[in-house]
Amino acid sequence: MKLDIYQIDAFADQPFTGNPAAVVPLTAWLEDDVLQNIAMENNLAETAYIVPTDNPSHWKLRWFTPTTEVPLCGHATLASAACILRHIHPQLSEVRFETLSGELIVQRDGASFIMDLPAGKPQNWAIPEAALTALDVPIVTSGISTYPFVVLENETAVRSLDANKAIAAAKLAHESSELIVCAPGQNDLDFVLRFFAPGVGVDEDPVTGSAITYITPYWAKQLGKNKMKLFQASPRGGHVSVEMCGDRVRLGGQACDYMRGKITLINQGP
């Protein structure tokens, strides 16, 4: 069996930035262990699998890290939409995905793509002392919005944070072993963040649509703004625009094609 595979840098306006995702179009779902093994072999933060329906603009979508299936992944959703709208059905301007997080819609907007995702619901949460000690930087506050998060004093503190300490803190902060670290931005940025997820096999994710979606309501309330610009300050980095729309968040960003190839599966059919 041979499968097409695309690797696309999401939330990237130039190659080798943003967050790379693999997108594998299928005609029907393969066995879960095969999907997981392909994701493990790809060794990217996410591998997305898309399956068509009778409507060219409606697809089924699942996401796998190298170790597990996840219920939501923003950057791989954007990459999947870019794959469909550029390479499979370039005549379309919108694609709808059936996912574990409900229906997700992505629209073409010039050179960018606008993605609609369910907003998080920030709540009070105190980071455990052991995790705070491991993080080894002062925090302003902490909370939880599906993922736990801590707010640092400023952008410089987020950018200069020791990744190994943040990974250790994520493992101690919550049973999910995930942690958002964020702060107010400078100049034209409203906020910055980094995301650490050793619990799903991703020590530091380059640009994380789900984390951005979950933390956007917090910053919208803090800043009194519905439209914001942010930067995920990972080593690769990525710029994202966000807009609060009721209980949804609209994320905007570009995507750069990197690679197209073939997967060869032995003893998996013709």
What is the distance between the alpha carbons of residues 157 and 184, in angstroms, rounded to a whole number?
A: 10
> How crowded is residue 124: how many other Cβ atoms within 10 Å of its Cβ?
8
How far the first Cα of the chain sits from its last, in Å, is: 5
What is the distance between the alpha carbons of residues 230 and 239, in angstroms, rounded to a whole number?
A: 6
Give rounded-to-5 percent helix, strand, coil for the chain: 25, 40, 35
Closest CA to 179 of 206, 155, 161, 197: 197
* Continuous segment of H or E residues that includes residue 131: helix 129-135
What is the distance between the alpha carbons of residues 10 and 206, in angstroms, rounded to a whole number?
A: 10
Phi, psi dihedrals of residue 45, rounded to the nearest 5°: -55, -40
C-alpha distances in angstroms, 156 versus 59, 60, 123, 137? 41, 40, 25, 12
Any catalytic annotation for residue 31? Answer: no
Secondary structure of residue 29 in the 3-state scheme: coil
Task: Read off the DSSP letter of residue 170.
Answer: H
- Of 41, 46, 69, 103, which residue is the catalytic one? 46
Q: Which residues are catalytic?
A: 46
